[in-house]
Structure 1
Amino acid sequence: MTDLLRLATAGSVDDGKSTLVGRLLYDTKSVLADQLEAVQRASVDRGLSTPDLSLLVDGLRSEREQGITIDVAYRYFATPRRSYVLADTPGHVQYTRNTVTGASTAQLAILLVDARKGVIEQTRRHAAVLAMLGVPQLVLAVNKIDLIDYDENRFGLIAKEFLAHANALGYPESSVVSVPVSALVGDNVVDRSERTPWYTGPTLLEHLETVPVQPDPHDVPFRFPVQYVIRPRTPEYPDYRGYAGQVAAGVVRPGDEIIVLPAGLRSTVVRIDTADGELSEAGAGQSVTLLLDNDLDISRGDLIAGAEQYPAVSDELNATVCWLAEKPLLPNARVLIKHGTRTVPAIVTELADRFDEQRLSTVDTPDSLQLNEIGRVLIRTAEPLPVDEYTSSRRTGSFLVIDPNDGATLAAGLIGAPLPIPDVNEDTGLGGATADDRALVSPGP
Structure 2
Amino acid sequence: MSGLIMAAQLILGLAILVTLHELGHFLAARAFGIRVEKFYLFFDAWGFKFFSFRKGDTEYGVGWLPLGGYVKISGMIDESMDKEAMKLPPQPWEFRSKPAWQRLIVMIGGVTMNVILGILIYSLVLMKYDKQYLSNADVTDGIYVYELGKQVGFENGDKVVAIDGKPFERFEDVLSSRVIFGATLTVLRNGRTMEVEVPADFYRRTIEAGKGNFIGPYRSALLIDSIIAGKPAEAAGVRAGDRLLAVNGTRTLSMEGARKMIGESKGKPVALTLARGTDTLTLQPVVSDSGMIGITYHTDFGSYPLTAYSTGQAFRYGTSDAFEAISSNIKGLKQIFAGKEKASESLQGPIGIANIYGGIWDWRRFWAITGLLSMVLAFMNILPIPALDGGHVIFLLWESVTRKRLSDRFMERAKVAGMVILLSLMVYTLGNDIWKHIIN
TM-score (normalised: structure 1):
0.25
Structure richer in strand, relative to its length: 1
Structure richer in helix, relative to its length: 2
Larger RCO (CA under 8 A, 6+ residues apart): 2
